[in-house]
Amino acid sequence: MRVVGVDLGERRIGVAVSDGTGTLASPRATIERNGDDTTHWTALAALVEEVGARRVVVGMPLSLNGRRGPAAHAAQADADELARLLAPRGIPVETFDERLTTVSASRSLRDAGRKGRDQRTRIDQSAAAVLLQAWLDTGRGHDDA
């Protein structure tokens, strides 16, 4: 089952996609938020359909103690909007704890020799891949949608 992972940011949305077996996540795209919610949600929904995803996993930015703060409430609202958009297509949306994914992605990019501007353009999709890989590693990527 192919799954899309989404890392929501204030300015950008990072997107990752799993392979068809639901085993390996790869960075896919970064969608810029331009102030028009319709534009970025439509772009994300088109990408979900393009790759044939059967599920979308949205990162939930919980605080380090596991509680939901303002960022988590905003992420839940975004996930709910995406779920509403994808429901007619039969594609479920769920949230998954994303604590430290951006830190992990940043470290991986730095270790790979990517710095400065190049790293900034890839951090969101890399964070989405870290999130999606963590979700896949729970074994949920092998469930029937």
The distance from CA 41 to its chain's CA centroid, rounded to whole angstroms, is 13
Q: For 3-142, CATH number? A: 3.30.420.140
pTM above 0.75, yes or no: yes
Instruction: With a cut of 70, list the residues of the chain below it in pLDDT.
Output: 100-121, 141-145
Residue-wise pLDDT for 3-12, tens only, equals 999 999 889 9
Render the burial of 122-140: b for 16+ CB within 10 Å, e for the rest. bbbbbbbbbbbbbbbeeee
Q: What gap in Å lies between CA 66 and CA 90, rounded to an integer? A: 30
Q: How many CA atoms lie within 13 A of 56 on its CB side?
A: 30
Enumerate the domain spans of the chain.
Answer: 3-142
Q: Are strands 55-60 and 3-8 parallel, antiparallel or unpaired?
A: parallel
What backbone phi and psi angles, to 5 degrees, belong to 107? -65, -45
For 138, the 3-state DSSP assignment is coil
pLDDT of residue 108: 58
pLDDT of residue 67: 87
Cβ atoms of residues 6 and 13 within 8 Å:
yes
